[in-house]
Amino acid sequence: MATTQAGHFSPLGRVLLRALAKNWWMLLLRGMCAILFGILAFVWPAMTLVTLILLYGAFAFVDGVFALVAAVTGGAAAPRWWLALVGVLGIAAGLATWFWPGLTALVLLYFIAAWAVITGVMQIVGAFQLRKEIDNEWLLIAAGAVSVLFGALLFAQPGAGALAVLFIIGVYAILYGVLLVFFALRLRGHSRVAA
Residue 192 has pLDDT above 90, yes or no: no
Number of other CB atoms surrounding residue 71 within 10 Å: 22
pLDDT-above-90 percentage for the chain: 7
Which residues fall within 8 angstroms of residue 16, CB to CB, at 6 or more apart?
78, 79, 126, 129, 130, 133
With beta carbons less than 8 A apart as the criterion, state whether 30 and 66 touch.
yes
Tens digits of residue pLDDT in 76-116: 445 577 778 888 988 988 888 788 776 655 677 787 889 88
Query: In the chain, what are the helix, strand and coil shares in percent, each to the nearest 5?
Result: 75, 0, 25
Q: pLDDT tier at 49 (50, 70, 90 boundaries)?
A: low
> Helices marked H in 136-165 — which ranges?
138-156
Which sequence spans correspond to the domains of the chain?
Answer: 11-194
Distance CA 42, CA 69 (A): 29
With beta carbons less than 8 A apart as the criterion, state whether 111 and 158 touch.
no
Q: Which amino acid is at 144?
A: G
- Which pLDDT score, from 0 to 100, does residue 3 have? 43
Tens digits of residue pLDDT in 105-157: 567 778 788 988 998 998 888 888 877 777 777 888 898 999 999 888 888 87
The residue that leads in pLDDT, 193 or 10, is 10
Q: pLDDT tier at 73 (50, 70, 90 boundaries)?
A: confident
The mean predicted confidence, pLDDT, of the chain is 78
